[in-house]
Amino acid sequence: MPLLQTRGAGSARGFGFSATQAGGGGCDGTVGIFGLGFSTTRNKYTYATCTSTASGVASASAGGYGQSAAGNSTRGIFAVGSNLTTRNKYTYATCTSTASGVGAASGTNQLGAAAGNSTLGIFALGSVPGGGSTTRNKYTYATCTSASATSSSVKSAGSPGAAGNSTRGIFAIACSCFVGTTTRNKYTYSTDTSTATGVGVASFATSGGGSAAGNSTLGIFTVGKQTSGGYPNPFFNTVRNKYTYATCASTASGVGAASQASYNGSAAGNSTRGIFALGVNGCACQLNITIRNKYTYSTDTSTASGVASASSNTGGPGAGVSWATCVNT
């Protein structure tokens, strides 16, 4: 995811800054960094202890709605949202963040998605003035530069979520006009190509507000807002899909559901689990919530028990990022 996401309505990715190289006695990610939405606040989630803190964690340079993020073993790149071109570089080892010297987006962006591998992150820009966008940017970590990348198959916005492994990123598509879609795109990093052909679709049509996290073999996508009769009557749900990279197949069968109906969340994870911030609940009052779920890939199970909550219930999609040296190989 990795991004490994979405990265989605709040794209999130978890990368471990204290990971060691393969063969070095352990190489899994240790922390995930979550942006909280409208706020500039970020949380550091520690996978081993299921604890979370906002203390000592560098804030975003601007409070953005509809963030997305991708990163590698040393840093996470955050698009801060709110129709800015600004990106922040978050350094895991020092818990510091800067917008200085960080390649900007090619256009204003929010409600996008992001995924990547150890060398680059692919950012779907999402909403632009006038609606969704097909634009993607390729961000190179080593040089902190950004350039145009192959576009999506159709316009997308709404923070749909993305996850991937070392060779490809899977991007969910969502429409800014509140018309649901099941489409996903497979973006291949080495060739800078993208296709919707042969790519497992979502289990039902959604209009955004998803998120995703995964490991080297699969991505877990929250499906977001299901359009039931069209806007303004979206149906928030607990459904998640499991996307298998090797076969480009997707299923909702046997996949652990969220602990409550929600959308506009974010996610990050390491090789064994994904941490999903639920975002906005699905009741009539549509409250912003602090709840997170831990999804275990090996058992396809999910729980909110013992999982540290966000430090505040900020509204709107945030972002999360993390990386484990061995996750996406």
What pLDDT, on a 0 to 100 scale, did the predictor assign at position 263?
85
What pLDDT, on a 0 to 100 scale, did the predictor assign at position 65?
82
Sheet with 96-98, strands from edge to edge, namely: 68-71, 75-79, 87-91, 96-98
Can you say whether the dihedral through the CA atoms of 58, 62, 67, 73 is positive or negative? negative
Structure tokens at 39: 């706020």
The CATH number for 118's domain is: 2.120.10.80
% of the chain residues with pLDDT over 70: 84
Residue 223 lies in a domain: yes
Mean pLDDT check: name the lowest of 76-80, 126-130, 136-140, 271-275: 126-130
Asked if residue 292 has pLDDT above 90, the reply is: yes
Domain with 245 in it: 31-321
How sure is the predictor about 66, in pLDDT bands with cuts at 50, 70 and 90?
confident
What pLDDT, on a 0 to 100 scale, did the predictor assign at position 206?
82
Residue 50 lies in a domain: yes
What pLDDT, on a 0 to 100 scale, did the predictor assign at position 24?
30
What pLDDT, on a 0 to 100 scale, did the predictor assign at position 234?
64
For residues 48 and 104, what is the distance between their CA atoms, to the nearest angstrom? 34
Residue 269 lies in a domain: yes
For residues 90-117, one letter each, b for 16 or more C-beta atoms within 10 angstroms of the residue's C-beta and e for the rest, the string is: bebeebebebeebbbbbebbbbbbbbbb
Mean pLDDT check: name the lowest of 37-41, 157-161, 218-222, 283-287: 283-287
Can you say whether the dihedral through the CA atoms of 40, 8, 75, 299 is positive or negative? positive
In the chain, what is the greatest distance between 2 CA atoms, to the nearest angstrom? 54
Mean pLDDT of the chain: 85
| Average of per-residue pLDDT across 233-257 | 92
Residue 142 lies in a domain: yes
Asked if residue 13 has pLDDT above 50, the reply is: no
| Average of per-residue pLDDT across 302-306 | 97
How sure is the predictor about 233, in pLDDT bands with cuts at 50, 70 and 90?
low
Residue 16 lies in a domain: no
How sure is the predictor about 158, in pLDDT bands with cuts at 50, 70 and 90?
confident
Structure tokens at 66: 């509809």
Higher confidence at residue 326 or residue 49? 49
pTM, to two decimals: 0.90
H or E element that contains 111: none
Residue 13 lies in a domain: no
How sure is the predictor about 184, in pLDDT bands with cuts at 50, 70 and 90?
very high
Asked if residue 236 has pLDDT above 70, the reply is: yes
What pLDDT, on a 0 to 100 scale, did the predictor assign at position 192?
98
Are 81 and 39 in contact by the 8 Å Cβ rule? The answer is no
Burial class (CB in 10 A: 0-12, 13-18, 19+), 142: exposed
Residue 48 lies in a domain: yes
Choose among 173, 151, 164, 319: nearest CA to 246.
Answer: 164
Is there a cis peptide before residue 317, judged by omega within 30 degrees of 0?
A: no
Burial class (CB in 10 A: 0-12, 13-18, 19+), 290: middle
Q: How many domains does the chain have?
A: 1
Residue 271 lies in a domain: yes
For residues 326 and 329, what is the distance between their CA atoms, to the nearest angstrom? 6
What 3-state DSSP class applies to 166?
coil
Structure tokens at 214: 């995964």
